């Protein structure tokens, strides 16, 4: 893979979580979340991207979201459950992307807000259509998905490097 390899990152926020008497990390999906996650999976499939790798937070709600969404994909990417995605800051998320092997062209990240929104916003120096305006207007609700493209090595990922190709929320479904 060369420095001018086109790459895509899909950022998926976990679906709607419930609020039982458990630690934040152990919160499961709510009923609405169990409906949102497969819809997000369908949207991921519609992108036509064959993901090389999925990084998923270790939190229960992100693992449940991924388990329900991945069934909608034509092929399951290699999945790594990454505890550093839980409660990660923007800087920590970019550092994690910088560690990604350049063998990976298309990456899916299943994580949390405010990180997913901050990362999509930070990477998107440009946008196709009204995707950036829609993301600014709606925020990054549960099960929202942003797809960003950039060219180069994962080590070169930084603010403004990409183009926001698509932004989707379950309300668009």
Helices (H) and strands (E) in the chain, counts: 5, 7
Q: Quickly state the pLDDT bin for 5 (edges 50, 70, 90).
A: confident
61 in a known ligand binding site: yes
Domain layout of the chain by residue ranges:
1-50+58-107+137-145+153-159
What pLDDT is recorded for position 90? Answer: 97
- Say how many C-beta atoms besides its own lie within 10 A of residue 80's C-beta: 10
112 contacts 59 by C-beta, under 8 angstroms: yes
The predicted-structure confidence for 73-86, as pLDDT tens digits, reads as follows: 999 999 999 999 99
Q: Quickly state the pLDDT bin for 172 (edges 50, 70, 90).
A: confident
Q: What is the rounded distance in angstroms from the CA atom of residue 40 to the CA atom of residue 32?
A: 12
15 contacts 37 by C-beta, under 8 angstroms: yes
Task: Report the top-level CATH class of 1-50+58-107+137-145+153-159.
Answer: alpha beta
Q: At what angle do helices 115-123 and 131-138 cross, to 10 degrees?
A: 150
Q: What is the rounded distance in angstroms from the CA atom of residue 63 to the CA atom of residue 88?
A: 16
Q: Give me the residues paired with residue 8 across strands.
A: 106, 149
> Structure tokens of 4?
């001018």
pTM of the predicted model, to two decimals? 0.96
The predicted-structure confidence for 30-51, as pLDDT tens digits, reads as follows: 999 999 999 999 999 999 999 9
């Amino acid at each position: 893979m060369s420095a001018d390899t086109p790459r895509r990152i899909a950022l998926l926020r976990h679906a709607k979580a419930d609020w039982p008497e458990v630690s934040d990390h152990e919160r499961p999906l709510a009923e609405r979340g169990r409906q949102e996650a497969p819809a997000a999976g369908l949207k991921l499939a519609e992108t036509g991207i064959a993901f090389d790798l999925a990084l998923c937070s270790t939190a229960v709600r992100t693992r449940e979201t991924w388990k329900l969404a991945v069934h909608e994909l034509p092929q399951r990417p290699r999945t790594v459950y990454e505890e550093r995605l839980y409660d990660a800051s923007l800087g920590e998320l970019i550092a994690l992307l910088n560690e990604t092997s350049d063998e990976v062209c298309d990456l899916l990240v299943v994580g949390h807000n405010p990180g997913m929104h901050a990362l999509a916003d930070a990477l998107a120096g440009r946008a196709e259509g009204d995707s950036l305006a829609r993301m600014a207007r709606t925020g990054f609700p549960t099960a929202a998905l942003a797809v960003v493209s950039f060219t180069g090595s994962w080590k070169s990922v930084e603010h403004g490097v990409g183009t926001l190709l698509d932004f989707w929320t379950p309300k668009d479904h």
